[in-house]
Amino acid sequence: MGGLSGAHAASPGFFDQSLASQLVQSMTQRRILQNDDATDAACKSRTFTEAMVVQQPVVQNHGGYSSKSWQEDWTLSRCGSDVFYRVFYSEVGAGGITFSVAQLDSAGMAVVQPTIVQPEAPLLRLTKPYMRGDDVKTVQAALRKAGVSVSVDGVFGPGTHKAVMAFQKEKGLQTDGEVGKTTRDALGL
């Protein structure tokens, strides 16, 4: 297994034990080295020695899209001492992977609590075939609660599209009929 030495090493080593792709492993190594520089910038002798899955993937369905999350412990040899990092991965549908890194102390506790990035809800809009699912029902129920006439059937058809546009117009939002972050926030979701 090839290691990665120094903060700007050109050829990272990859771990078969990691569930992340080589690209994501490379990004993980870069993030760990950035965090490690903040701790000990004087040390230039660094090598990754291990990546090990400590929490198996958990797959969840979120009304039309799925997410997979898992945790890995990464070991970095820094000037002869091992430093441990926990990496929290989240893969959302085909939309990519987000991750956060926390350094661990000798007892395996996070020195700095990681920032966990929650996946954004999918953009809902009129498509062919129509979008369906619990997320659409949630939006329809929120529209109805806001006083907009719409069926709560879980199908994002022309009626829901018109209802979203009416809500957006009433709230002074961009009237595109799409339910993204701004419209969700206005609906209180």
Residue 100 inside a domain? The answer is yes
Chain segment 74-93, per-residue pLDDT in tens: 888 888 888 888 898 888 76
* 11 and 88 both lie in a single domain: yes
Residues 88 and 159 in one domain: no
Percent of the chain with pLDDT over 70: 81
Q: Is 86 found in the same domain as 38?
A: yes
| Within a domain: 181 | yes
The string of DSSP letters for 150-189 reads ---SSEE-HHHHHHHHHHHHHHT---SS-B-HHHHHHHT-
Q: Look up the domain containing 46 and give its range.
A: 1-119
Residues 115 and 176 in one domain: no
Query: Is the residue at 125 inside a domain?
Result: no
Residue 102 identity: A
In a domain, 124, yes or no: no
In the chain, the number of structural domains is 2
- Give the model confidence (pLDDT) of 9-67 as tens digits: 333 567 778 888 888 888 888 888 887 777 777 777 888 888 889 888 888 876 667 78
What are the DSSP calls for 50-98, one per residue? EEEEEEEEEEEE-SS-EEEEEEEEEEEEETTEEEEEEEEEEEETTS-EE
Residue 55 and residue 4 share a domain: yes
Dihedral of CA atoms 59, 63, 64, 69 in degrees, nearest 10, equals: -20
Which of 92, 178, 166 shows the shortest CA–CA distance to 131? 178
Same domain, 148 and 93: no
